Amino acid sequence: MEYAIQTKKLVKRYGKGFTALDGVSLNIKKGDVVGYLGPNGAGKTTTIKILTKLIKPTAGRAYINGVDVTRPSMEVLSKVGSLIEVPGVYEYLTPVEMLTYFGRVYRIDKKVLDQRIKKTLRLVKLSDWEHKKIGSFSTGMQRRLAIAKAILHKPEVLLLDEPVLGLDPAGIRDVRELIQHFQSEGMTVFLSSHLLGEVAEVCNSVIFIDKGKVVESDDMKDIAGRLASKAVRVEFPRPLSNEEIAMIQAVKSVSKVEAVDNAVLISFEGGSHTSYQILRDLAGMNLEIVSYNPERMGFEDYYLSLVGNERGIK
């Protein structure tokens, strides 16, 4: 299979003793929208900079559409669009002027460039500002313009490093809708982000990286299955005795029982049917139940279980 993005044992060392990437291997299929998550300094931006030929790896290989980006040729970048960290702002230009310049850099035929610019600005909701100076734009408008520049030449692969950084909720929604549009067009999107909810909403798979190593990768559907309820909180009118807690612990599929005041947290193996069976077993013990509520692990909890939270999320 030819992947849109592939890396093989990618290593990047900076200076003395700091390894940003330590054997990172990725396989991203064409048309996928993939989230790249990890703490600050985990290696996300370094990976994207290698894929866009801004820096060279210390070891390993990286490919886009089967072409080795670690080799001298710039051919591969003709099929790649990118937004890396905070984009440069051309304050003295208008969007049309800026995109015209980059259209010539991309060698887009002059006959189609004007229409391409109009269509791209309409897509990122900047048509009304096409002749305004970029220096007057808000952070959100500048970010949307940077995305317009990245997609002007109709790339097959789009690399986005923190695409919603600094945006308000409306700006985040606009970028989310853009990414969903790119997916509908068959574009491969690889994005790093610190907003876990956004990644969960727009990506069909996720890669977790920590300390330069990939610690987990999976489809969002499979992750959602793991986040399904695996515990229930049961409240009683009084604290249970040790004997009653032992009775619950002996119930089939129950793996752990924790008592907290008048309640117990029951962890179990299985799905919703198992939860229902546990409730029936408790009722059969003649225990008076005040409430019976499933406990769910959130996506953020899942993330922190993989990479830890000592350095925050970014």
Q: What is the DSSP string of 113-143?
A: HHHHHHHHHHHTT-GGGTTS-GGG--HHHHH
Domain count, the chain: 2
- Domain check: are 257 and 196 in the same one? no
Is there a domain that residue 304 lies in?
A: no
pLDDT tens digits, 48-105: 999 999 999 999 999 999 999 988 777 778 889 999 876 666 889 999 999 999 999 8
Same domain, 38 and 161: yes
- Residue 12 near residue 58 (C-beta atoms within 8 A): yes
pLDDT confidence of residue 171: 83
* Contact status, residue 26 vs residue 207, Cβ threshold 8 Å: yes
- Tokens 């994207």 correspond to 48
Same domain, 214 and 233: no
Kindly state whether residues 208 and 93 are assigned to the same domain. Answer: yes
Domain that holds residue 48: 5-218
238 and 106 part of one domain: no
Per-residue three-class SS string for 231-288: EEEEECCCCCCHHHHHHHHCCCCEEEEEEECCEEEEEECCCHHHHHHHHHHHHHCCCC
The residues of the chain scoring below 70 in pLDDT are 86-89, 226-229, 272, 296-297, 308-314
Residue 312: what pLDDT?
37
From CA 104, how far away is CA 84, in angstroms rounded?
A: 21
- Model pLDDT, residue 314: 34
Task: Give the C-alpha separation, 253 to 264, whole Å.
Answer: 16
The amino acid at residue 168 is D
